[in-house]
Structure formats: structure tokens, C-alpha cells
Structure 1
Amino acid sequence: MPNTTKPVLIIGGSGVVGSKAAWFLRRLHPDLAIAIGGRDRAKAQAVAAEIGHASAEVVDLERPDLGLPGNNRFGAVAVFVKDSTLNTLRYSLEHKLPYVSVSSGTFEIGPEVALFIHKPDRAPVLMASQWLAGAAVLPILHFASAYESIDKIHIGVVLDEQDMGGPAAAADYERLTTVSPAALIIEDGKVSWVAGEEGSGRLRSVDGVDVSAQAYSPFDVISLAAGLNARSIRFDLAYGESASRRRGAPYSTEIIIALTGRKRDGSFGTSHHEIVHPDGQAPLTALGVALGLERLLGLDGAKPTVPGLYLPESLIEPAYYVRRVQEFGARFTMDGGEGVMAPSMAIPA
């Protein structure tokens, strides 16, 4: 049975995305205990009071014990900041706590993987650094069920310059786009790294406007290469003005997907899909982490996840994710037609 008596510790839980993850967990599981972790106790207490049935914890990433009490008080740990010390992962493995992280680049996962390999039987570790914690990968795997085989996958995303989120998200973006000058793609069945002109591209926003983009490599590329074995996979990021802001509305976040391959009816062709959330990137990331925690802890009614190293698509059913993400406000379209839309839930400002 899942342990829902000990609180889920959300480190960075008073930030823009972490606080939404706490709110989503509360909506999904009203009785779940939650601990909001951060450097500022007052901010953590404010979020805890807002969501209810929650506590506040001061977290110090420089300390191996995170500055937390010695007794094993928590049921799981989710981290919304880049922890270069790896102390959050060490703490989780030491106390056998399910763990979720979202801030690592494809080029920097070695230390986390090595630490897990040395303690593989301690806890389930979910590495959810795909774009917005699975917001592209899981729908693609859902759409892929219409195909016998997929040859090419192109993902284009638009991140509005007003939708960066808090300081932690801004620091992640700066690090991930500057530390590694090259981006991982799959080309002609081979892993390749592109930079400069080779990494430059364009994508068509959901309003039909062509915008400049740059190849980018969150975990989506390696997830899809492993899961679908397509011969060509590329992820392009456009940072600037979203379609909604061009028409005078607040910013949104956009994911544009093209899948090419042989469909189950025997025909060969390309399908185009668009996913838009009118409140930007934070709700999608928050929900991805919330659903990951739900599966790790067995809150969905199945058994809790056993120790292991996981990606979101190895734990979360794509169809279930698509249903949930629509319930929380995402809009899906396919080849110009409106997708099935579930009733949306109000999202806090």
C-alpha cells in the first residue's frame, strides 16, 4: 500500500512551478500530506497555508542532511531546482524515498546516473528533464499508437520570453543553452551533435507565423530514440513571442509535433499535432511532476514503484497523461482540427 501519511517534500515548492505542483497534487489527492521546502521559511509557509494540509521546511542544499530533521519524516522528494551538490538525491537514496528531478540537461546526467548505480536498490528515481516534464514525449507516444513504425519526429516548442518563471527556471535556461554549445539530435539513425548554423532552424507557430529556432536537447530526444527507434529526431526551441501574445492576449506555451511514418492502415504520411496551454509552461511542468509522484507512490491505485531508474514514459501511461493534461487546461489540435477536450480545471494565478 502507498505511504500517504508521510508528506511529499517539494524542494522549490514556494517557486512558480513548484507551488503549482503542490496545488495540483492537492487537487488530485486531497488527503495527501505535503511539505513545502525552500530557503525562505515565510514563503514556504505562505504556500503551505494556501494549499492546506501542508507544512513548511527550510532546506539547505549545501548540507548532506539538507538541514532537515534526522528522522525519516517524508514519503517522497521532488526537486524543482538544479542541485549541483546531488545532496537531494543522496538524501533520498539514504532514506529510501521516491525521487523526481526536472532540471538536468542531456549532457549532464552522468553524476546522477552514477550515484544511482552505486545504490540501485534504495529507491525509485524518476529523471523527468524532458520538455516540461513529459509534455511532448508522452503525447507523442500516445499519437504514435496510430503508426506501425515512425521514421521521423520533429518537435518545435515556443517559450514566450515573458514565461520564464522564477529565478531557478531562468538559471536552468541560461545553463542549458550556454554550457553545452551543441544539441543532440538523431540523424539517419545515428546520434549527432549540432551547433552554430547546423543547429539553426525555423518552426511554424500555431498561428502560422514562421519563427527562428535553435536545436535543443532535453531528454525528449533520448527518450523517443529509445522508445520509438525513429531514424530522425530533432527538437527545436523558439524563444520569443508566443502566438497568443501576438494577438494581444497573455503569453501561452506551444508544442508543435510532426510524425512521419507508416500508419496502421498501410499508408505512409505525416501527422501534425499542436498542444497549447494558455497559462504558459508552469502548469505542464507541475502536472508532469505531480503525475510522476502519483505513480511512484502508488496513489493511482496500482502498487508503488519499486527501486529503479526511470523516465516519465516508463511509468506514466501516455493516454492517461493526455487525459489529465487536458483536464488541467491544455488544448490539443491535429492537422488543423480541434482535438478532444476534457473539462478544464481552474489554475491559480
Structure 2
Amino acid sequence: MSTHKQNPVLIVGGSGTVGSLTARQLRRLQPELPITIGGRDVARAEAVARELGHADATRVDLTRPDLGQPEGRAYSAVVMFLKDDSLNSLRYAQALGVPYQGISTALFEVAPEVALHMARPQRSALLMNTTWLAGAATAGVLHFGREFKTLDSIAIGGVLDEQDVGGPAAYADLDRMTKSAANMLLLENGRWRWVNSTEGLRTFRDSSGQEVQGQAYSLQDIMGLAASTNARSVRSDIFIGTSAARRRGEPFSTEIILELEGTRHDGRPARARHELIHPAGQAPVTAVGVAVGVERLLGLAGGAPVAPGLYQPNGLIEPEYLLRRLQEAGLLIRGA
């Protein structure tokens, strides 16, 4: 698809740690796509825009329904890298009739966004991408899950180095998501359960074989994967501490440990373990996931532009395509 006449993608928070990485990944994937870096600090946004080329910057005011944008300003999509408690950013995308992608709305916070979509279902495609590292874990499960005729159990273990939490927006998201909800959601033996901090503990092995204690972490992966696979048990856990790479004296890394159980196509019961590791941490993984989401929404990869509707990555993004793009950006995949 030619993009020479396309309106720019507005990346709100695009001068932050992950936002700027996403802008660079999007520029790598789509060299001709115009991009607008939005934020409160225009000087920082302009610096990122200059580096990207074919980009500009704008001041964004989330307290205003028009985000402080000039009348008549047009965008092709809105991407949010921080929690917008007003939801003015989503309303703005709906007013323009363009797709919207967010990565900061926790599972227990989805109701206002869903309600806003239901009130205007024909206005925008809404990609709810608050999944572990913007769809990376979900893509891994769906890809390797094809080795099974039926999947019975899915367990995701995220290893986040304590030095790799990210910038202020990412830290605020993590702090809110881990402290605001007293309980976490998981699917266990066919029943949805809210578990407390004690019930939600799970020990799993990281890439070095060391046991770490994870805590149930309710992101949208579990809902999407349960719907896509019909597994009877689905959970996602996070361990925050020292990554295996840093224990070896190397810079921090991030890991996604996937443990699958089910029945193979030949009828045999089986278990599989796969490790997705990025030696530069979580930010480049998230950046690729969001960039691929933008591509898909705009019809630049994977099919035609996405029609208005409510989406998660499992129903929109081809797992193999996302994994390939992640590997190009340095992701290592190991099976065990």
C-alpha cells in the first residue's frame, strides 16, 4: 500500500523511552509513513522527529477533547504510551474516525474504554494491546500452540529485570497495575477465578534453570488466549528481580517463558517449553509489538485496513509475522 498521501500517525508519548523506540521501529518498517511525535515537552518531541525524518512534533494536552490540536489537523491513527484517565485520546480518535491503539489499560480498567467503543461502534478500530510486551507473549503461545491439536494449559512467565522497568510512564503503569487491584484474574480448570497475592504465587524456571517466584499478573493475554485456544487453564505471572543475564555479569535482559500442555496432533499428551529472550530488555520488544499493531491497523501489513471494532492482538496480528519482526530486532527464541 502506498503511504505518500497518508496522514501521519500520532504517537502520544513518542519522546519517552518506549515511545521513541516504537517510532524508530515504525520508521524502519514503514520508511515513508509520516509520524507525529506528541507530548507535553515539544522540544523533546521535535528532537525525536528530526532523528526520524518525515516526521513532526506537536504539543498534546490530554485535558482537552481535541488534545490541543489545531482545527482541521488530520491523523491516520492515534497511539497512546501513557494512561489517559480522561479517555480524551480515544474520543479524539473516534471523532476523526481513525484507529486507536493503547498499551496502558489494565484488565480491571477496561470497562470505560469498552463502553466508549460500544457507544460509537462504527467510529474507530480499537486495538487493546495491554498484553505482555505488546503481544509478544500472545504471539509466542499462538505460534507454538499450533504444535498441539488441543491446548489444555497455558502458563506465561515474564522475567522483568528490576533495572528494566522503563521510563516514568512505564513505571507508573506497573505500579498501578500491581497495587490497584487486590486480586488477579486467571483461568483454572475451566473456571475464571480472582486470586489474592498469596494464591497467585507461582514458581517457574528462568532461562538459566534457576527457580524464580512469579506473581499472577492480569493482563489481557489471558482473556485473548482463553478465547482463541479454548484452554482450560491460562495464567500469566511476572517476576521482577535480577535477570539471568545480569546474574552472569551482563546487561539486563528480558524473558518470556511459555509452558504449554495439551494433546499433539497424533493424539499423544505432551508438554512444551519455549523461551523468548531479548538481551536489551523489554523496551525493544514492546516497541516492535506496537509498531506492528500500527501497521496492521492501517493495512500496511497483514491485510486491508482494519474496520471499526474492538480488537486484541490474538484476533488481529499474525503471530508468525510479529515473531519474525521481533527476531529481526534481536529477540532470541529457544525451545526446550
1:271 paired residue number: 272
Q: TM-score w.r.t. structure 1 length?
A: 0.94
Find the counterpart in structure 1 of residue 215 from structure 2: 214
User: Which residue is equivalent to 1:319?
Assistant: 320
Q: 1:292 matched to which residue of 2?
A: 293
Q: Which residue of 2 aligns with 1:44?
A: 45
- The 5 Å alignment of 1:192-271 reads 192-271=193-272
Separation in 1, partners of 2:228, 2:303: 23
Map 1:1-349 to 2 at 5 A: 5-300=6-301, 302-335=303-336
3-state SS in 2 of match to 1:198: coil
Q: Distance in 2 between matches of 1:203 and 1:262?
A: 22
| Alpha-carbon contact 2:140-2:258 (below 8 Å) kept | no
The CA distance in 1 between the partners of 2:197 and 2:2, in whole Å, is 48
| Percent identical residues | 52
The aligned amino acid for 1:330 is L
TM-score normalised by L of structure 2: 0.98
- Alpha-carbon distance between aligned partners in 2 of 1:155 and 1:324, rounded to the nearest angstrom: 21
CA distance in 2, matches of 1:28, 1:128: 19
Q: What amino acid does structure 1 have at the position aligned with 2:196?
A: A
> For the aligned residues, what is the CA RMSD?
1.1
Once the 2 structures are TM-superposed, how far is the Cα of residue 84 of structure 1 from its aligned partner?
A: 0.5
Deviates more, 1:253-262 or 1:196-205: 196-205
Using the TM superposition, give the Cα deviation of residue 236 of structure 1 relative to its aligned residue in structure 2, in angstroms: 1.1
- 1:110-147 CA distance string (max 9 Å, x none): 00000000000011111000111101001110111111
Structure 2 counterpart of 1:118, one-letter code: A
Q: Give yes or no for contact 2:108–2:181 (8 Å, CA) kept in 1.
A: yes
Structure 1 position 301, deviation (Å): 6.7
SS at match of 2:115: helix
Please tell me whether the aligned partners of residues 2 and 297 of structure 1 are also in contact (alpha carbons under 8 angstroms).
Answer: no
Query: Following TM superposition, where does structure 1 have runs of at least 4 consecutive aligned residues deviating by more than 2 angstroms?
Result: 1-5
State the Cα distance separating 1:269 from its structure 2 match: 1.0
Amino acid across the alignment from 2:59: V
Length, aligned pairs only: 335
CA contact (8 A) 1:13 1:22 kept: yes
In 2, Cα distance between equivalents of 1:320 and 1:263: 24
AA partner of residue 281 (structure 2): G
Deviations 1:311-333 (CA, angstroms, capped at 9, x unpaired): 11211111111111111110000
The alpha-carbon deviation at position 196 of structure 1 amounts to 2.6
For the residue of structure 1 that corresponds to 2:133, the secondary structure is: helix
2:37 alignment partner AA: I
Greater Cα offset, 32-41 or 309-318: 309-318
Offset, 1:2: 6.8
Aligned residue type for 1:318 = P
SS of alignment partner, residue 136 of structure 1: helix
| Residues 153, 257 of structure 1: 8 Å contact kept | yes
1:199-233 deviation line (CA, Å, top 9, x unaligned): 12222111111112111111011011111111111
1:290-345 CA-to-partner distances (Å, cap 9, x unmatched) read 1111011111273211111111121111111111111111000011xxxxxxxxxx
> More deviation in 169-178 or 299-308?
299-308
Aligned mates of 1:125, 1:194 — CA distance in 2: 29
Cα distance between partner residues in 2 of 1:316 and 1:2: 20
Q: Tell me which residue corresponds to 1:339.
A: none
SS of the residue 2:199 aligns to? helix
> Is residue 139–residue 321 contact of structure 1 (8 Å, CA) maintained in 2?
no
| CA distance, structure 2, for counterparts of residue 127 and residue 43 of structure 1 | 27
